[in-house]
Amino acid sequence: MNGGIEAAGDIATGALIGRAVESEAGEQHGQGTHGGGLCLNCGTALQGEFCFACGQTVHIHNTLHSLFHDLLHGVFHFEGKIWRTLPMLFRRPGQLTRRYIAGERARFISPLALFLFSVFLMVATIETIGGPFFAKSHVKGPDKVLVSGKVAEQLKQARATETALVAERKRLNKADADTDAVDEKIDGVREQIKALRATGVAIDTANTDMAKLKVDTGNAFIDDRAAHVLKEPRYYAYKLQSTAYKFSWALIPISLPFIWLLFAFRRDVGPYDHAIFAIYSLSAMTLGVVGLSILRWIGIPGTLIWLAIAIGGPFHMYRQLKGAYGLTRGGALWRTAALVLFAGLACALFFALLVGFLVGPASE
C-alpha cells in the first residue's frame, strides 16, 4: 500500500515538474477581461488575454478551489499535450522530432518536460513492481539476507538509532511532552532501514566472491574504485539504482557528441536539432523501460523482454533517424547501427562516471 502511494507521489511530482518547464503556447484559459485594464504583474496596459510585456494571463484565479484545480490539471491533464505526443513518439518519432524543431510547439510536450516526466514515471514503476530484468521482491525475514561489510554495519547502526529514538519517544510520552520531532526522526531512520534491507535483494551475488577479482587498467583511480565496487557489489548496485535517475539528465550532453559524429558533414542540422533528437529518444527509451517492467511484472518471460529490447530499441532509432533527418533507407540503417554502438558507449561512460562519484575519493 505504502509503495503504491509513494509511486503515485513520484508520478505526480514528475507531472508537476514537467508542467513547470512546459510552455503555455496555444493553451486555452478561462474567460478574462479583453482589451482593458492593467496587468496585475507589471502594470502594462492590457490588449488581450495575455500581457504582451510579461506574458501573464489576464484571468487570475484567487480561490482555494482554483488552487486545487491547477494542481489536478497539472498532474492529470498535462494540458492534453501528452496524448498527442506519446502516440507520435512511438509511431512516428522522426516526424515528431522534425515538427517540433520546425516550430510546432503548441501541440506537443517539449522534449525536456517529457523527459523529466518519463524519468519520474520509470523510478515510480521500478520502485513499485521492479524493472524489466527482475521482479520486485518484498524483503521479509531476518536481516541475514544482507551481505556483510558496509551494508551490514550501516544497518546495525540504523537499528541502534531506531531503538534509542523509540526509547526517547516513550520517555517523552510519559512526561506528556511533544513527540513530533522524534517521530519524524523515527520515520526517517525506518526509511533508511528499509532501503538498506532492500540492498540485500538488489542483485543476486550471495554466492560470488567478487572481492577476489582484480582489475588492472593501469590507472590507479579506476582500479581503486573498481575494487570498492567488487568488494560490495550489492551495495553499489542499490546505490546505482537509487541514484542514477537523479543524474539521468547527464545522458543528454554525453550523447550529443556521438550524434554529431553521425552528421559531421551536414550543414543543415546543428546542435539544437541533435539535442531535440536525443531528448525525445531518451524519453522513448525510458518509457519503454516502464512498459517492459509492467510486462515483466505480469509474467512475460525474460527471453521475450530481451527480444523486445534487441529489436524495439534499434527499430525506434531507425524510424526517428530516418524521419527527423530526412535520410534514405540506407543512410538510416548504417547510422542506426552506429547509434546503437554509440548508445552503449554513452551508457558505459555515464555509469562509469556515476560509480566514480558514488565511490568517492580513493581510500587509504
pLDDT at 311: 94
pLDDT at 34: 45
pLDDT at 201: 45
In this predicted structure, the answer to whether residue 328 has a pLDDT above a threshold of 50 is yes
pLDDT at 326: 94
pLDDT at 5: 46
The pTM of the full predicted model, rounded to 2 decimals, is: 0.65
pLDDT at 206: 42
pLDDT at 330: 95
Residue 29 near residue 57 (C-beta atoms within 8 A):
yes
In this predicted structure, the answer to whether residue 205 has a pLDDT above a threshold of 70 is no
In this predicted structure, the answer to whether residue 80 has a pLDDT above a threshold of 90 is no
Across 229-244, average pLDDT: 66
Q: How far apart are CA 178 and CA 193, in angstroms?
A: 25
pLDDT at 138: 42
pLDDT at 74: 54
In this predicted structure, the answer to whether residue 359 has a pLDDT above a threshold of 70 is no
| Chain CA centroid to CA 264, Å | 30
Of 169, 168, 167, 165, whose CA–CA distance to 190 is shortest?
Answer: 165
DSSP bridge pairs for 50: 57
pLDDT at 124: 82
Of the ranges 28-42, 45-59, 223-237, 263-277, the best mean pLDDT one? 263-277
Among 61-75, 122-136, 295-309, 330-344, the minimum mean pLDDT is found in 61-75
In this predicted structure, the answer to whether residue 176 has a pLDDT above a threshold of 80 is yes
| Chain CA centroid to CA 119, Å | 2
In this predicted structure, the answer to whether residue 300 has a pLDDT above a threshold of 90 is no
Q: What is the pLDDT of residues 12-48, one digit of tens each?
A: 555 545 554 455 554 544 444 444 577 777 877 877 7
pLDDT band at residue 106, thresholds of 50, 70 and 90?
confident
pLDDT at 203: 41
Percent of the chain at pLDDT above 70? 62
Q: Which residue has the higher pLDDT, 73 or 116?
A: 116
pLDDT at 320: 96
pLDDT at 73: 56
Residue 227 has a CB neighbour count (10 Å cut-off) of 16
The set of long-range contacts for 130-136, using a CB threshold of 8 Å and a minimum separation of 24, is: 130/293, 130/296, 130/297, 131/289, 131/293, 131/296, 132/289, 132/292, 132/293, 132/295, 132/296, 132/305, 132/309, 133/296, 133/302, 133/305, 134/203, 134/296, 135/296, 135/297, 136/297
Q: How far apart are CA 270 and CA 5, in angstroms?
A: 43
Q: What is the pLDDT of residues 275-287, one digit of tens each?
A: 999 999 999 999 9
Q: Environment class of residue 65 by beta-carbon count within 10 Å: exposed (0-12), middle (13-18) or buried (19+)?
A: exposed
Looking up cell 557489489 gives 233
Sorted by where each begins, the domain ranges of the chain are 80-137+208-364, 138-200
pLDDT at 334: 96
